[in-house]
Amino acid sequence: MTRETSRTIAEWATTAFGPARAEALVARAATEMDELRESLSQGDFDSIASEAADVAILLHRIAHDHGHDLSDAVDAKMARNRLRRWEPSGDGTGRHVAEPAVAASAAPAVSGAKSAPVETGEARLGDVLFDAKRISIRVRELAAAIERDLEGDILIVGVLKGAGFFTSDLARALRNPAHLAFVGVSSYGMNGSARGEPRLTSDVDVPVAGRKILLVEDLVDTGGTLSRLVDTFRQRGAADIRTAVLLDLVQSRPNRRLTPDYVGFETSATWVSGYGIDYKEKYRNLPDIHEVVLPSKA
Ligand SMILES: O=P(O)(O)OC[C@H]1O[C@H](OP(=O)(O)OP(=O)(O)O)[C@H](O)[C@@H]1O
Ligand code: HPA
């Protein structure tokens, strides 16, 4: 049997019925919902799945017409639901009461131009800014742009840990015969507290002289990490160095040390997490990128 997606459903429906306005689809979904309610009240349990499918088919079409896939949206929403705290209403449904809170007391002190705020209250995971689907589309677009500029053999260098997922997705979207390496960079002092000059904590395992290098970062804030790496590889004789970042934290632009060559998304968020990016080492595993809400800043 064909595994239907929002796209295949929308294509079929448009061929069968012609283009539709979203309002008409919502009204039709409400009618199908009424039929589902009727099946339940009449005890017609055999038709329940089929009536529910009629509702879902309309929802798939609405999602596709607005650039989404409903199954992906359900996956993303469920990932979020599983992180929330819920208060049961007593009838088998419930309301979410608060986002998971993370204590801020252990926050490292932040210094200099780094935009990380020092919190006095509690931080929580906020809205999804860029979901997994959007990220994967954008990664492919970035790869296409990079391929147009950089031909042939390149050395892809991912910056750990934050850019781990972005580097592996971008590398797989690029068709260049690439070599892959990673570096570790830390901006924290030896005591793990103050944010200072970025230093290399682990190096690439290949020579870089004469190579075309694509440096891959999850985000650019002050630009300190990337500019440190560009300087390092330039001193070692790299032939060409390009920088690709998934997120540009636009608030930090005025004091930035470097402008990346390729940018996935711009965001005005102060702090973000997910898709490799952490909040105090947490949330790197989340498939979507969320805003982290820092309620009070000192
Ligand atoms: O533009 P900058 O001001 O240099 O900031 C960007 C860097 O900061 C974060 O890394 P972090 O040092 O937190 O390490 P991580 O990648 O292991 O999370 C982020 O992942 C970038 O690497
Ligand atoms: O928003 C951020 N998230 C994680 N690490 C960061 N480093 C600078 N800004 C950020």
Question: Which CATH number does the domain housing residue 178 bear?
Answer: 3.40.50.2020
Domain boundary among 19, 50, 76: 76
Instruction: Look at residue 298 and tell me if it is in a domain.
Output: no
Local structure of 224: helix, strand or coil: helix
Residue 284 alpha carbon, nearest atom of ligand 1:
18
Give the distance (Å) from ligand 1 centre to CA of residue 210: 27
- Domains: count for the chain: 2
Instruction: Kindly state the tokens that stand for 12.
Output: 């079929």
Task: For Cα atoms 258, 262, 263, give the angle at the middle one, nearest 5 degrees.
Answer: 90
The more confident residue out of 245 and 46 is 245
| Residue 161 Cβ contacting ligand 1 at under 6 Å | yes
Look at ligand 1, atom 3, and give the residue with the nearest C-alpha. Answer: 222
Domain boundary among 76, 91, 108: 76
Residue 179 and residue 187: Cα distance in Å, rounded? 26
Instruction: Look at residue 27 and tell me if it is in a domain.
Output: yes
Domain match, 63 and 169 both: no
Amino acid at 291: E
- ipTM of this predicted complex? 0.96
Whose structure tokens read 């039709």? 28
Beta carbons of 215 and 258 less than 8 angstroms apart = no
Instruction: Look at residue 193 and tell me if it is in a domain.
Output: yes
Which DSSP letter does residue 150 get?
A: S
| Residue 223 Cβ contacting ligand 1 at under 6 Å | yes
* pTM higher than 0.90: no
End-to-end CA separation in angstroms for the chain = 58
Residue 226 and residue 83: Cα distance in Å, rounded? 32
Instruction: Kindly state the tokens that stand for 173.
Output: 């979207």
Domain match, 54 and 130 both: no
Q: How many percent of the chain have pLDDT more than 90?
A: 54
Domain match, 263 and 129 both: yes
State the catalytic residue, choosing from 169, 221, 248, 288: 221
Instruction: Look at residue 281 and tell me if it is in a domain.
Output: yes
Instruction: Look at residue 68 and tell me if it is in a domain.
Output: yes
Domain match, 65 and 157 both: no
Residue 269 alpha carbon, nearest atom of ligand 2:
1
**Ligand number nearest to the C-alpha of 195:** 1
Domain match, 127 and 254 both: yes
Domain match, 216 and 158 both: yes
By C-alpha distance, which of 229, 247, 227, 192 is closest to 113? 227
Query: Going by C-beta distance under 8 Å and a sequence separation of 6 or more, which residues neighbour residue 263?
Result: 220, 244, 245, 246, 247, 248
Give the distance (Å) from ligand 1 centre to CA of residue 234: 20
Residue 222 alpha carbon, nearest atom of ligand 2:
8
The enclosing H or E element of 144 equals helix 132-149
Give the distance (Å) from ligand 2 centre to CA of residue 87: 32
Domain match, 136 and 23 both: no
pLDDT-derived band at 61 (thresholds 50, 70, 90) equals confident
Instruction: Kindly state the tokens that stand for 264.
Output: 């996935």
Domain match, 221 and 130 both: yes
Query: Going by C-beta distance under 8 Å and a sequence separation of 6 or more, which residues neighbour residue 298?
Result: 117, 118, 119, 120
Domain match, 143 and 259 both: yes
Give, in order, the Cα–Cα distances in Å from 16 to each of 3, 9, 51, 62, 293.
Answer: 19, 10, 19, 15, 46
Which DSSP letter does residue 160 get?
A: E
Amino acid at 229: L
pLDDT, position 194: 56
Look at ligand 1, atom 11, and give the residue with the nearest C-alpha. Answer: 186
Domain match, 129 and 206 both: yes
Instruction: Look at residue 26 and tell me if it is in a domain.
Output: yes
Is the pLDDT at 97 greater than 80, yes or no?
no
Domain boundary among 76, 106, 132: 76
Q: How many percent of the chain have pLDDT more than 70?
A: 84
The enclosing H or E element of 180 equals strand 179-188
Domain that holds residue 40: 6-76
Neighbours of 288 (CB within 10 A): 21
Determine whether 203 is an active site residue: no
Local structure of 256: helix, strand or coil: coil
Residue 273 alpha carbon, nearest atom of ligand 2:
3
Residues with CB under 6 A from ligand 2: 115-116, 219, 221, 249, 271-273, 277-278
Instruction: Kindly report which listed range (192-196, 209-213, 217-221) carries the lowest average pLDDT score.
Output: 192-196
Instruction: Look at residue 109 and tell me if it is in a domain.
Output: no
Instruction: Look at residue 155 and tell me if it is in a domain.
Output: yes
| Residue 224 Cβ contacting ligand 1 at under 6 Å | yes
Domain match, 18 and 145 both: no
